[in-house]
Structure 1
Amino acid sequence: MRSGHRGAVIWLTGLSGAGKSTIAQALERELFQRAMHTYVLDGDNIRHGLNSNLGFSPDDREENIRRVSEVAKLMADAGTVVITAFISPYRMDRSRAREIALEGSSEFIEVFVDAPLAVCEARDPKNLYKKARAGQIREFTGIDAPYEAPEDPEIVVHTDQQSVDESVAAILEQLLPRLRAVE
């Protein structure tokens, strides 16, 4: 246990605009301040490189999440706390991500970043909902493609009711005990 803590995959899932990336970055800062090895995987650093050949069809979404899961597992097995921030709209894909992570010696914690569709649309930092409503983006999750909310996530944060700091605190409360090194 070179890093003094166990590796883990923290899987943030939710609609676009729910706050996944914002929470992931804030959580990474908090863990880094505790001298933990961390890394955030999200659409910005995965879809432009490793998965640049994938689109947004159901099959491509499945393959995107499978690849992310494999990378996250490798990093977690090396002692990194990997925070993933992906819509990952299908329960089956998230279940598979859990199975892949647990093949190693790492923790897997699913965090449902929950916000009503209306709130996500109002936030819409990249104008994606606006484009989807105008027909410029097809198969957009929450508009014309489904999002299957988690049935039994370890943690739920309600970003329409909780601040980023409150959301991170709720995650840390459950996460930190699970990361303690086992002697």
Structure 2
Amino acid sequence: MKHIHPVFDQILGREDKERMLKQRGCVLWFTGLSGSGKTTIARHVEQELAGKGVLTQVLDGDNIRTGINNNLGFGEEDRVENIRRIAEVTKLFVHCGIVTLNCFISPTREMRQMAKDIVGADDFVEVFVDTSLYECEARDVKGLYKKARAGEIPNFTGIHEPFESPLDPDVHIVTEQQCVSECVSSVISFVIPRIF
């Protein structure tokens, strides 16, 4: 590490970039089971924020897994590394004043706490997309639960691996009781004061 010389003190700072964008960066970290509706809700939140002139970036599990994290598997160590890398990338976006919408199962409280520590507690909004396993399996738009039940996908969260629900999320969405527009409104009303 002695040969690494960061130049953070020589480049434009976060305040400069946020002033240019007229917004404050933060991350909305959507967590929940596969098929819970994380990406669907995030896409609608992105559209709402765009209508208010907010610059955003959506980071989705499938997209990240085919790009920056395509060398990682689904064992415990690789899952932790997946979230660590995502959090580091997110921190860069947030420090540029961009509102980042992250859609990752991130199944354990420890993983989510690690992400929060990396990004910074003041910039981290935990959004729990609370959908029962029964409902996620009924939706199963990607056919993943069926494959997991058949033994074709090992280490699948909700089937073989536990999902630890957040104890005190900033926004708690119960998709079986709220329509998409209500879910989006809950997120928007919480985050707007943080952005402007």
Q: Distance in 2 between matches of 1:99 and 1:72?
A: 12
Structure 2 residue 130 is the aligned partner of structure 1 residue 114: yes
Q: Distance in 1 between matches of 2:63 and 2:37?
A: 17
Letter in 2 for 1:177: P
Q: Distance in 1 between matches of 2:107 and 2:135?
A: 18
* Superposition deviation, residue 179 in structure 1: 1.2
Q: Distance in 2 between matches of 1:152 and 1:97?
A: 16
* Superposition deviation, residue 176 in structure 1: 0.3
Question: Could you list the per-position Cα deviations for residues 81-107 of structure 1 after superposition, in whole angstroms to 9, with x for gaps in the alignment?
Answer: 00000000011110011111117xx62
Structure 2 residue 96 is the aligned partner of structure 1 residue 78: yes
Equivalent in 15, 31, 37 of residue 49 of structure 2:
31
Equivalent in 148, 151, 172 of residue 156 of structure 1:
172
Aligned to 2:114: 96
**Identity, % of aligned pairs?**
52
Aligned to 2:149: 133
* Superposition deviation, residue 2 in structure 1: 1.3
Q: Distance in 2 between matches of 1:46 and 1:156?
A: 25
TM-score under structure 2 length normalisation: 0.89
Q: Distance in 1 between matches of 2:157 and 2:33?
A: 7
> Greater Rg, structure 1 or structure 2?
2
Structure 2 residue 64 is the aligned partner of structure 1 residue 46: yes
SS across alignment from 2:68: coil
TM-score under structure 1 length normalisation: 0.95
Structure 2 residue 185 is the aligned partner of structure 1 residue 169: yes
Q: Distance in 2 between matches of 1:48 and 1:112?
A: 24
- Structure 1 unaligned residues grouped into runs of 5+: none
Aligned to 1:8: 26
Q: Distance in 2 between matches of 1:24 and 1:60?
A: 25
Letter in 2 for 1:51: N
User: Runs of at least 4 residues of structure 1 off by over 4 A?
Assistant: none
Structure 2 residue 93 is the aligned partner of structure 1 residue 67: no
Q: Distance in 1 between matches of 2:54 and 2:63?
A: 21
* Superposition deviation, residue 52 in structure 1: 0.1
Aligned to 2:36: 18
Letter in 2 for 1:18: S
Would you tell me which structure has more helix in proportion to its own residues?
A: 2
Q: Distance in 2 between matches of 1:16 and 1:47?
A: 14
- Structure 2 unaligned residues grouped into runs of 5+: 1-18
What is the RMSD computed on CA atoms of the aligned residues? Answer: 1.0
Letter in 1 for 2:61: G
